Structure 1
Amino acid sequence: MNSNYPVMLRLEGKKVVVVGGGKVAERKVTGLLGTGARIIVISPNATDDLRELAGRGRIEWLEKSFSKQDIDGAFLIFAATNDKALNQSIKMAASDQQLVTIADDPDGSDFHVPSHIQRGRLSIAVSTGAASPTLARKIREQLEYQYDERYDAYLEFLFSARQRILNEVKDSSKKGKILAAIASEDFLNSHDREADFLRLLHYKRNDV
């Protein structure tokens, strides 16, 4: 069995086509919101939530049946209809350079969307290689409990602190020690991370 290759994709400004207007398509669209992708839904009908997103300009909904021209220039394609033959025809219509996922045919898909959680800059994905989406969901729920809402602000702190460390600390050994320190439980649970960080930064910079 060939292993899948995990990767985080930047979709900002890229065309992503979701063919289908039911609940499966709705879940795919929901996962794409916030990526900056140009999301286009192709379907004669659509759920109320998809219609609302289209009405608010969050997505484009082409109220029509699928045609090959709909995926011209698409970076990702989601074949998410309840028609197995149509899903396969969408895959056949795509070029070799386009990535397609088929809702009812994981083995025939070019990529899979894992179960995942998002805590600000922190993204954790779980995949069982299509063996058990139920288990993937269970693991995700455990991770949601372990990595709670505290991590939103904590990751923002780590991002800004890391920039300061890289710019202000020249000694590579001290730099590594400070980076390790701010990634500790102490900083996660700190009531005043900024003050603790400034003390640590001052101490390490002057430590001889």
Structure 2
Amino acid sequence: MYPILIDIKQFSVLVIGGGKIATRKACGLIEAGAKPTVIAPKFSETLLNAKRNGSVILRERSFQYGDTAGFQVIFICTDNQAVNRVILNETTPRQLVNDTTKQQNSNFFNMAFIKEKDFGIALTTAGENPTRTKLLKQKIRALLKNISLD
């Protein structure tokens, strides 16, 4: 793995799924300046609010063949393994794909990111242990609150 930061707003981004994980991914993408397209039969209230704000495109339906065409970054966030396989089968090597349900299907991983006003800290277990990454992030945040960086 090679860690990088990318300017995501330059990419066309697709999130498939409308639940908790899809919402978290979409919100992070929006915060980073992207305007993701999200496809799902139903959406969280957070995603519906993001649509009202104009920061996300929602397609209220199930995934259909051909939906990944034209997207450069794809997040698979459904709990339906059959649908996830169909999505994977239509992606190409030129697309960045993150299968949040089965990391070995991914060709990139998100890093946990702690953003302060003048610096950031990225953490990763390369998709091996997201729970550990989350715990490390919490501990580092707590540590940062207790020390002065001035």
TM-score (norm 1): 0.66
Secondary structure of 2:36's match?
Answer: strand
In the TM superposition, residue 93 of structure 1 has moved relative to its aligned partner by 0.9
Distance 1:20 1:53 in 2: 15
RMSD: 2.0
Structure whose alpha-carbon radius of gyration is higher: 1
| Cross-structure match for 1:131 | 128
- 1:136 maps to a residue whose letter is T
- 1:47 maps to a residue whose letter is S
Distance 1:59 1:116 in 2: 22
* Pair 1:48 & 2:54 matched: no
Equivalent positions of 1:66-81 (< 5 A) are: 66-81=63-78
Q: Which moved more, 1:63-72 or 1:103-112?
A: 63-72
CA contact (8 A) 2:113 2:120 kept: yes
Could you list the runs of 4 or more consecutive aligned residues of structure 1 that deviate by over 6 angstroms after TM superposition?
none
| Cross-structure match for 1:103 | 100
| Cross-structure match for 2:119 | 122
Secondary structure of 1:146's match?
Answer: helix
In the TM superposition, residue 78 of structure 1 has moved relative to its aligned partner by 0.4
Q: Which structure is higher in helix share?
A: 1
- 1:14 maps to a residue whose letter is F
| Cross-structure match for 1:28 | 25
| Cross-structure match for 1:5 | 2
- Percent identity between matched residues is 29
Q: Which runs of 5+ in 2 are unaligned?
A: none
Secondary structure of 1:145's match?
Answer: helix
Q: Which runs of 5+ in 1 are unaligned?
A: 151-184, 190-208
* Pair 1:87 & 2:64 matched: no
Secondary structure of 1:69's match?
Answer: coil
Question: What per-residue deviation string (whole Å, max 9, x for no partner) do you get for residues 51-78 of structure 1?
Answer: 1111111100011221233222212100
Question: What per-residue deviation string (whole Å, max 9, x for no partner) do you get for residues 102-154 of structure 1?
Answer: 11110111111122211134221111233322221121112213334x9xxxx
The structure whose RCO (Cα within 8 Å, separation 6+) is larger is 2
